[in-house]
Structures are given as C-alpha cells and as structure tokens.
A = this chain, B = another copy of it.
Amino acid sequence: MNIEAVDFFYLAMPQIDDIGDGSQDALLIRVAAGGYVGWGECEASPLVTIASMVCPMSHSACKPVLASVLGAPLNTPEDILKIHEQVHQNSMDLLQTDHALSGIDIALWDLLGQRYQEPVWKLLGYEQTYPKTPYASMLFGDTPQETLDKSKAMREHGFKAVKFGWGPFGKHGPEADRDQLMAAREGLGADTLLCVDAGTIWGADLAQGEMRLDALREAEVFWLEEPFHTGALGAYKALAAQSAPIFIAGGEGAHNEHMARHMMDYGGVGYVQIDTGRIGGITVAKRVADYAAAHEIRFINHTFTSHLALSASIQPYAGLRDHHLCEYPVELQSLAYELTSDHLLPDANGDIHLPDRPGLGMTPDLAALQKYLIDTEISVGGETLYKTPALA
C-alpha cells in the first residue's frame, strides 16, 4: 500500500495561558493508506508545523515535509525508515522538519499496527512490555506553600515518584529554590522519588547549577533535569561530574538522534529524556533507547500532553525492563485528556502498562475534539496550501 493522505488538525484550548504547560494545544496527525488509518501528534507549534508540511519548495534541500511522504510505499517498518531518509534529504534546510516528521512517524507506526493487528512495541521488536513507574509531572507552585500542598496531594494520590519543574524555580536565587525543594520533600515524605526540572533556566552558566547542589542533596533529589540549554554540553558534563548521587537528566530539546547522542556522549547525562513528538517520532526515539541501553544510561519519555502522545512515547522503550520510570502528566488541560477515549491509568500497584492492542492502542475521540478544532488557512501566491479539513 501507499500513503494516500496526511491530514493535520490544529486543536487548542479556548484560552492559552502564559505558563509552562504544553497541553494547551495540539497538532493531531492522521495518515491513511490501504484502507487503514493511523494517528499521531506533534509536540510543537501547530501553525508552524502545518506550514512546514505544505510550504512551497525553496530549493532541493528545502521542500515541504509532505512532499517526501505522500504516495510513499508503506508496508513494513523499513518503509518508515526510507521515508525518514527521504524527508531528511529533501527538507534538510527546513528547521521545523523534525517536529513535523515526529507526528507523521507516530501515525505511520500506528497505521502499521492496525494493518498487522499488532501493538507498535511488537513491531519494534520487543517480545513483551514491562510496567513503568509513572512520576507525576507538575509545575512548581508559585510559593513553597503551594508546592507543599501539591506534593502532599500527589503523595495521597499514591504516586511513587513526582517531578516539579518550571514556575519560579531557578529564577530567584539558591535560597528561594532551597525553600521550594524542602517544601516538595516535606510534602512527599521520605519514600517518594523527587525529581526537579530547571527548564534550561541557567543557559550555560555552570555556577548556577553548582550552587544548588547542596540543597538538591539535602532534599534527596533523584535527578536534576535541564539545568542548561540542550547544546551546553560542556556545562552538563562538568555538573554531572560533581552531582552524585543526583543524576543529571536532559534531552527533550533534541530534535534528532545526533543531538540525543551528544547529550550522552559529551554531556554525561544519566537519564536521557526523549519526546517522540519532537525528535522525529518513534523510529528515532527507539534508536536513542537502544543506544542508551548499550551505554548504561537510562532512557525515559518526555511527555506533557495527551495519552496518545504518552503511548507513543513509551513504545520505544517498552521492552527495556531496567528503564522503569516514565513521565506521566497529571495536570492535563481538558483538550489533552479528551483527545483519546482510552487512557493509560495506573494499576493497583501504581504502575503504567502499555495496551496490548493494535498500533498505539489509543482511539482519538473525534466527537469530543470538535470543540477544540481551530480553523486555519494558509495561502501563498493566490493558492490555498492548507485549509482545516473536517475531523470525522
């Protein structure tokens, strides 16, 4: 079969707030081939990503992403690899490409799963899946008291691991951060894993990370995530060399396999965090997982949006038993939660299991999504290049 159609749908909450919450909008991707349909999601600006799908060619290495996808053969996982090669060759100079390809790749895997009636993790070569321990991923409160309240709630909710990030952290000096960290630890109690996400707030300033290490140790933080910009490999390496027993984590900013490997090869991260909706999809994330597993580095998903994205992000390391943590967003906007009619909910033991269903095992709830659909239109030189299709 060949790829017959690729459609994309810009979904958004009625109001987008200026906070670090990536679940406020979504770009949903639908691919059709041979009577089958697959769904994916890009974790990226919907409008810019749509533009990268349909833009006019600038030159031979700057073509719209769809030019390398529509009509391509799709019968086996190898065909997905060939599509990646074509996209990278034809859209090399189009910076947004990997974010766009991510959602397409996810939909292609979902579609092949429907075709073969197998879950994606089986198509990826895993014999079985292992349970993942979800860490509840949330924003720091504006005050330590708010963070205390949030962390107590998470403990009562039964999460074995919690991550706080963004918000005020890193912006108001080491003492303010220490108060936040101690509040989080107090609320969680001694036995809950506590991770911290600095959201690249310190750029490449190693000293800013160093001066927090004592407080991070005092609060028994498990990992410190993204102290620096993804590219600041030297600062990552230097902080990782002195942070034990705290792991340094990063990688969500990687938009290709090379960048993820740089974080491991040159940056010294102990946890590599990959967003399948950004790095180029399941295909690329799986390669990163293989590399991490071979180098004693833990792979983990980065997900702050729908359960479609959550399933897609866990597939690449579903069969790696020792890589047992997963990011699990707990403050989703209604759009992101309603995006699928199925959800990955913790079992009695608090663990997450990928469904043993074809593809991603998640069904978009098209009826629920109608109210979030944003009419979008792009025209160039008198020609309409994109107009929101019906979501049905």
Contact = CB atoms under 8 A, between A and B. Distances in A.
Nearest to A379: B377
29 contacts: A12-B56, A12-B381, A16-B56, A17-B59, A20-B59, A22-B62, A24-B58, A44-B62, A44-B93, A45-B52, A45-B58, A47-B54, A47-B55, A48-B52, A48-B96, A50-B51, A51-B378, A61-B199, A92-B200, A95-B98, A95-B255, A95-B278, A231-B262, A233-B258, A233-B266, A262-B262, A374-B381, A375-B379, A377-B378
A163 interface: no
B95 A47 contact: no
Interface in A341-392: 374-382, 385
Interface string A13-42: 000111111101100000000000000000
A228 to B, nearest CB: 10
A229 interface: yes
Contacts of A50: 51
Contacts of A52: 45, 48, 96
A16 B59 CA distance: 7
A134 interface: no
A193 interface: no
Contacts of A232: 258
Contacts of A262: 231, 233, 262, 266
A16 B232 CA distance: 38
What are the 7 tightest A-B residue pairs by CB atom distance, in nearest-first order?
A: A231-B258, A51-B51, A47-B55, A48-B51, A96-B96, A48-B52, A374-B381
A376 B18 CA distance: 28
Q: Which of A96, A261, A278 has the most CB of B within 10 A?
A: A96
A253 B62 CA distance: 12
Interface in A30-87: 44-48, 50-52, 54-62
A259 interface: yes
Contacts of A95: 44, 48, 95-96, 98-99, 255, 278
Interface of A: 10, 12, 16-22, 24-25, 44-48, 50-52, 54-62, 88, 92-96, 98-99, 166, 199-200, 204, 229-234, 253, 255-259, 261-262, 265-266, 278, 374-382, 385
Contact of A59 (B24, B48, B378): B24
Contacts of A20: 59-61
Nearest to A12: B56
A19 B375 contact: no
A229 B258 CA distance: 9
A50 B231 CA distance: 25
A166 to B, nearest CB: 8
Given A25-B58, A45-B52, A233-B258, A376 B379 contact: yes
Nearest to A99: B95
Contacts of A265: 234
Contacts of A258: 204, 229-233
B47 A62 contact: no
Q: Which of A22, A58, A229, A379 has the most CB of B within 10 A?
A: A58
A21 B93 CA distance: 12
Contacts of A46: 55, 58
A196 to B, nearest CB: 17
Given A45-B58, A266-B266, 18 more contacts: A16-B56, A16-B58, A16-B59, A18-B57, A18-B60, A19-B59, A20-B60, A24-B59, A25-B58, A44-B62, A45-B51, A45-B62, A47-B55, A48-B51, A51-B51, A88-B229, A95-B278, A375-B380
